[in-house]
Amino acid sequence: MATENADKAPKEPHYLLQSIENFGKGAMRVISDIGGVTWLGFQVARWSARRPYRLHNLFAQLDFVGVGSVFIVALTGVFTGMVFAHQSSRAFELFDAESMVGPTVALTLTRELAPVFSALMVTMRAGSAMCTELGTMRVTEQVDALETMAVNPIQYLLVPRVLSGLIMVPVLTMLFNTTGMAGSYFVSVIAKGISAGTFLSRTQQWVDPIDLYEGLIKGAIFGLSVTLVCCYKGYNASGGAKGVGQATTQAMVASALSIFILDFFVGVMLH
Amino acid sequence: MKKLVTPFRVGLLVLTAGAFFFAFFMFARKGGLSEKESIDVWAYFRDASGLSPKSRVQIAGIPVGEISQITLEGTRAKVWLRIRDDVELHEDAVLTKRSESLLGDYLLDLNPGTEKTPRMQDNGQIRRVIDTQGMEAVFESLSQITADIQQVTAALRDVLGGERGAGSLQRIVENLIRLSESVDATVRSSGERLNAILVNFEGVSDDVRGLTQENQAEVTRIVDNIEYITEDVREVLATVKKVVGANEGDLKEGVASLKETVQKLDRTLGNLEQITHNVREGEGVVGTLLTDRALGQKFTDAVSDASDYVNRLTGLQTEVGLNASYLMSQGRAKNGISLRLIPKPDKYYLLEIIDDPRGLVEVQVVQNNPPGSGQPVVQTQKIIKETYKISAQFAKRYYFTTLRFGLIESTGGVGADLHMLEDVLELKLDAFNFSAEELRYPRLRATLRAQAFDHLFVIAGMDDILNAQQRDTATNRLIAGRDFFFGGGIFFTDDDLKALLPSVPTP
Give me the mean pLDDT over the A23-29 stretch: 88
Residue B200 Cα distances to A87, A107, B196, B197, angstroms: 79, 88, 6, 5
C-beta separation of A41 from A228 below 8 A: yes
* B7 C-beta neighbours (distance < 10 Å), count: 16
Cα-Cα end-to-end distance for chain B: 50
Nearest chain B Cα distance for residue A225, angstroms: 21
Give me the mean pLDDT over the A106-118 stretch: 94
C-beta separation of A217 from A173 below 8 A: no
Q: In B58-134, which residue ranges form alpha helices assigned H by DSSP?
A: none
Q: Of B113, B453, B440, whose CA–CA distance to A196 is shortest?
A: B453
Give me the mean pLDDT over the A244-257 stretch: 94
Amino acid at A27: A
Q: How confident is the model at residue B310 (pLDDT cuts 50, 70, 90)?
A: low
Residue B316 makes CB contacts below 8 A (sequence gap 6+) with: B341, B342, B343
Do residue B13 and residue A70 have CB atoms under 8 angstroms apart? yes
Q: Of B109, B140, B143, whose CA–CA distance to B126 is shortest?
A: B109
Give the pLDDT confidence of A165-210 residue by residue, as tens digits. 999 999 999 999 999 999 999 999 988 888 888 888 888 888 888 8
pLDDT confidence of residue B11: 87
- What is the DSSP annotation of A34-86? HHHHHHHHHHHHHHHTSSP--HHHHHHHHHHHTGGGHHHHHHHHHHHHHHHHH
Residue A2 CA to residue B153 CA, distance in Å, equals 95
The answer to whether A183 faces chain B, any CB pair under 8 Å, is no
How would you classify the pairing of strands B106-111 and B56-59?
Answer: parallel
**Chain A residues within 8 A of B452 when measuring between CB atoms:** 186, 190
Q: Of B262, B472, B266, whose CA–CA distance to B362 is shortest?
A: B472
More reliable by pLDDT, B496 or B61: B61
pLDDT confidence of residue A236: 92
Give the pLDDT confidence of B159-203 residue by residue, as tens digits. 767 777 777 778 888 888 888 888 787 777 777 777 777 788 788
Q: Of A109, A92, A108, whose CA–CA distance to A100 is shortest?
A: A92
The answer to whether B28 faces chain A, any CB pair under 8 Å, is yes
Candidate from A57-61, A154-158, B8-12 with smallest mean pLDDT: B8-12
Q: Of B363, B357, B320, whose CA–CA distance to B335 is shortest?
A: B357
Interchain CB contacts (distance < 8 Å): A and B:
75
Q: ipTM, 2 decimals?
A: 0.81
pLDDT confidence of residue B25: 84
C-beta separation of B88 from B59 below 8 A: no
C-beta separation of A177 from A114 below 8 A: yes
Across the beta sheet with B124-125, what order do the strands follow? Answer: B124-125, B38-45, B76-84, B62-73, B56-59, B106-111, B94-99, B128-130
Query: Of the candidates B29, B105, B424, which has its C-beta nearest A190's C-beta?
Result: B424
Tell whether the model's pLDDT for residue A71 goes beyond 90: yes
The answer to whether A10 faces chain B, any CB pair under 8 Å, is no
Nearest chain B Cα distance for residue A67, angstroms: 6
The answer to whether A196 faces chain B, any CB pair under 8 Å, is no
Residue A133 CA to residue A244 CA, distance in Å, equals 9
More reliable by pLDDT, B162 or B482: B482
Do residue A190 and residue B29 have CB atoms under 8 angstroms apart? no
Mean pLDDT of chain B: 80
Residue ranges of A 74-103 with Cβ closer than 8 A to chain B: 95-97, 100
Cα-Cα end-to-end distance for chain A: 73
Residue A109 CA to residue B165 CA, distance in Å, equals 67
The answer to whether B105 faces chain A, any CB pair under 8 Å, is yes
The answer to whether A175 faces chain B, any CB pair under 8 Å, is yes
Tell whether the model's pLDDT for residue A136 goes beyond 90: yes
pLDDT confidence of residue A150: 87
pLDDT confidence of residue B366: 75
Burial B359-372 (b: 16+ CB within 10 A, else e): bbbeeeeeeeeeee
pLDDT confidence of residue B294: 79
The answer to whether A212 faces chain B, any CB pair under 8 Å, is yes
Mutation target to probe the A interface, by most A beta carbons within 10 A, among B3, B13, B106, B484 is: B13
State the DSSP H helix or E strand holding residue B83, giving kind and residue range, or none if neither. Answer: strand B76-84
Q: Of B88, B111, B107, whose CA–CA distance to B98 is shortest?
A: B107
Residue B275 Cα distances to B262, B270, B286, B291, angstroms: 20, 9, 10, 14
**Chain A residues within 8 A of B14 when measuring between CB atoms:** 66, 171
The answer to whether A194 faces chain B, any CB pair under 8 Å, is no
Tell whether the model's pLDDT for residue B246 goes beyond 50: yes
C-beta separation of B334 from B391 below 8 A: no
Nearest chain B Cα distance for residue A21, angstroms: 49
Give me the mean pLDDT over the B216-236 stretch: 74
pLDDT confidence of residue A164: 95
Burial of A194 (0-12, 13-18, 19+ CB in 10 A): buried
Against a cut of 0.80, is the pTM above it? no
pLDDT confidence of residue B314: 65
Do residue A60 and residue B6 have CB atoms under 8 angstroms apart? yes
pLDDT confidence of residue B201: 76
Residue A232 CA to residue A36 CA, distance in Å, equals 7
**Chain B residues within 8 A of A171 when measuring between CB atoms:** 13-14, 17
Do residue B29 and residue A62 have CB atoms under 8 angstroms apart? no
Q: How confident is the model at residue A2 (pLDDT cuts 50, 70, 90)?
A: very low
Eight-class DSSP state of B469: P
Query: Of the candidates B6, B101, B105, which has its C-beta nearest A59's C-beta?
Result: B6
Give me the mean pLDDT over the B246-268 stretch: 72
Angle subtended by helix axes A209-235 and A159-185, to nearest 10: 140
The answer to whether A182 faces chain B, any CB pair under 8 Å, is no
Give the pLDDT confidence of B451-479 residue by residue, as tens digits. 877 889 999 999 998 888 888 777 788 88
Tell whether the model's pLDDT for residue B19 goes beyond 60: yes
Q: Report residue B296 CA to chain centroid gap.
A: 46
Q: How confident is the model at residue B132 (pLDDT cuts 50, 70, 90)?
A: low
Angle at B228 between CA B224 and CA B229, to 5 degrees: 115
More reliable by pLDDT, B266 or A215: A215
pLDDT confidence of residue B215: 67
Tell whether the model's pLDDT for residue B218 goes beyond 50: yes
pLDDT confidence of residue A242: 92
Q: Which residue of B has its CA nearest to A110?
A: B24
Give the pLDDT confidence of B367-415 residue by residue, as tens digits. 777 666 567 777 777 777 778 889 999 999 988 899 999 999 888 999 9
How would you classify the pairing of strands B62-73 and B56-59?
Answer: antiparallel
Residue A77 CA to residue A114 CA, distance in Å, equals 7
pLDDT confidence of residue B105: 67
- Report for A226-230, A265-269, B10-14, B98-102: range of highest mean pLDDT: A226-230
Residue A176 CA to residue A194 CA, distance in Å, equals 23
Mutation target to probe the B interface, by most B beta carbons within 10 A, among A178, A179, A198, A206 is: A178
Residue A203 CA to residue A179 CA, distance in Å, equals 15
Residue A32 CA to residue A30 CA, distance in Å, equals 5
Residue B170 Cα distances to B160, B162, B174, angstroms: 10, 12, 6
The answer to whether B250 faces chain A, any CB pair under 8 Å, is no
Mutation target to probe the B interface, by most B beta carbons within 10 A, among A62, A72, A206 is: A62
C-beta separation of B52 from B46 below 8 A: no
Residue B239 CA to residue B228 CA, distance in Å, equals 17
**Chain A residues within 8 A of B7 when measuring between CB atoms:** 59
**Cis peptide leading into B53, omega within 30 of 0?**
no
